[in-house]
């Protein structure tokens, strides 16, 4: 439904749909996120996404979800990572004002993330599934596994303390 806007695959997409379902292992969140990522894309783009999925060993769900993250533009990726690291559960207006102040087109970026099922706005608060938050934080952690001072974002108090202590010595 998320990939086609209807309850059945469009003509020519049945086999591709079955492959995506297999790789998502029937996990609802993965199916929803992948479906929104693939929505409106050509058969060739579907095939390219499936090739990415085939390279994921043992179907790590976060790696499946990352396929959708990788399809975002730079601004959407930055907004997504900020929400994952700092703003989950915060009021929509606060997050949008902050993102606008950072030079991002927050309204468009957040709407795109909602459309792609990467974030949810409920009761004027921005939230996301715990697995998506974990994935976002892991993306940031992978920027520099050993030196947290080289990461684009710090949210864990021990990492912040370590960076501040290191920079004052």
pLDDT at 169: 60
Q: Are residues 153 and 79 in the same domain?
A: yes
- Whether the per-residue pLDDT at 84 is higher than 60: the answer is yes
113: nearest Cα among 101, 129, 91, 97: 129
pLDDT at 63: 78
Backbone angles phi, psi at 91, to 5 degrees: -65, 140
Mean local confidence (pLDDT), 96-123: 95
- Whether the per-residue pLDDT at 85 is higher than 60: the answer is yes
Question: Is there a domain that residue 98 lies in?
Answer: yes
Which pTM does this prediction carry? Answer: 0.74
Question: Is there a domain that residue 145 lies in?
Answer: yes
pLDDT tens across 35-77, in order?
888 888 888 998 888 888 776 654 577 777 888 899 999 999 9
Question: Mean pLDDT over all residues of the chain?
Answer: 86
pLDDT cut 70: percent of the chain above it: 89
| DSSP code of residue 128 | -
pLDDT cut 90: percent of the chain above it: 44
Q: Are residues 28 and 55 in the same domain?
A: yes
Quick one: tokens of 107?
Answer: 């309204």
Quick one: tokens of 148?
Answer: 């947290």
Question: Is there a domain that residue 168 lies in?
Answer: no
Question: Is there a domain that residue 154 lies in?
Answer: yes
Q: Are residues 78 and 154 in the same domain?
A: yes
pLDDT tens across 3-21, in order?
556 666 777 788 888 888 8
- Contact call for residues 127 and 89 (beta carbons, < 8 A): yes
Which domain covers residue 88, as residue numbers? 74-158
Question: Is there a domain that residue 56 lies in?
Answer: yes
């Amino acid at each position: 439904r998320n990939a086609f806007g209807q309850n059945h695959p469009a003509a020519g997409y049945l086999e591709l749909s079955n492959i995506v379902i297999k790789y998502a292992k029937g996990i609802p969140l993965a199916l929803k996120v992948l479906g929104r990522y693939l929505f409106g894309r050509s058969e060739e783009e579907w095939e390219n996404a499936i090739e990415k999925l085939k390279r994921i060993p043992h179907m790590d769900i976060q790696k499946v979800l990352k396929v959708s993250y990788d399809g975002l533009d730079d601004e959407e990726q930055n907004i997504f990572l900020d929400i994952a690291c700092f703003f989950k559960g915060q009021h929509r207006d606060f997050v949008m004002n902050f993102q606008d102040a950072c030079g991002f087109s927050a309204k468009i970026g957040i709407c795109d993330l909602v459309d792609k099922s990467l974030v949810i706005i409920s009761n004027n608060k921005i939230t996301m599934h715990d697995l998506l938050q974990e994935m976002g934080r892991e993306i940031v952690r992978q920027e520099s596994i050993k030196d947290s001072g080289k990461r684009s974002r710090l949210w864990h108090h021990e990492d912040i303390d370590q960076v501040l202590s290191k920079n004052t010595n």
